[in-house]
Amino acid sequence: MSRPAAVTFKGTPMTLAGEAVKPGQAAPDFTIHFFEGGLKTITLADLKGKPSFLSIVPSLDTGVCKIQTKKFNDELASLKDKINAVTISLDLPFAMNRFCGAEGITNMKVGSDYQNRSFGNAYGMLIEELKLLARGTVVIDADGKIVHAETVSEVTSEPNYDAAMTAIKSLL
């Protein structure tokens, strides 16, 4: 399934693959990759047991993605051990690791959906024309149910930080 004109990128309509996730539904499974002394994976099962905050960005090497990642890194600092916090993009795990080191991102893991785009397809966030993820946030409770989901309508705009933070804090 595809959703034509689901978002815009610099004003141009873009198609998103898959169905958008919605609060109340079970979070779809996915596999993303990160680099920590070697390539490792994160799946939905790895996140169960405590609330999860997912920040989705097209590429960490762009201005808005950098702002979003740094802002959530700072805002989530006080919740560090109480939640899983992950930024997801299609950047390679090595580039994501470099970005985090250069920008002091220590309160969030970074996961890459580069290998099979399972996250982008399962969460309705893959932009078909660009082969990048749309921008958004997803909050999942400890049992794997979605409590908040935002896909930003204009990919170059920032997400609703307050709504995402309110959702994760409501689970604590």
Q: What is the pLDDT of residues 81-93, one digit of tens each?
A: 999 999 999 999 9
Distance CA 79, CA 70 (A): 15
pTM: 0.97
Is 65 a known active-site residue?
yes
Distance CA 93, CA 109 (A): 11
Q: For residue 121, what are the contacts with CB-CB under 8 A and spacing of at least 6?
A: 17, 18
pLDDT in tens, 32-53: 999 988 899 999 999 999 999 9
The phi and psi torsions of 111 (rounded to 5 degrees) equal -125, 140
Q: Is there a contact between 35 and 96 (Cβ–Cβ < 8 Å)? A: yes
Q: Is the pLDDT of residue 147 over 90?
A: yes
The structural domains of the chain, with segments of one domain joined by +, span 2-169
Fold of domain 2-169:
Glutaredoxin (3.40.30)
Containing H/E element for 3? strand 2-9
**Catalytic-role residue among 7, 32, 65, 140:** 65
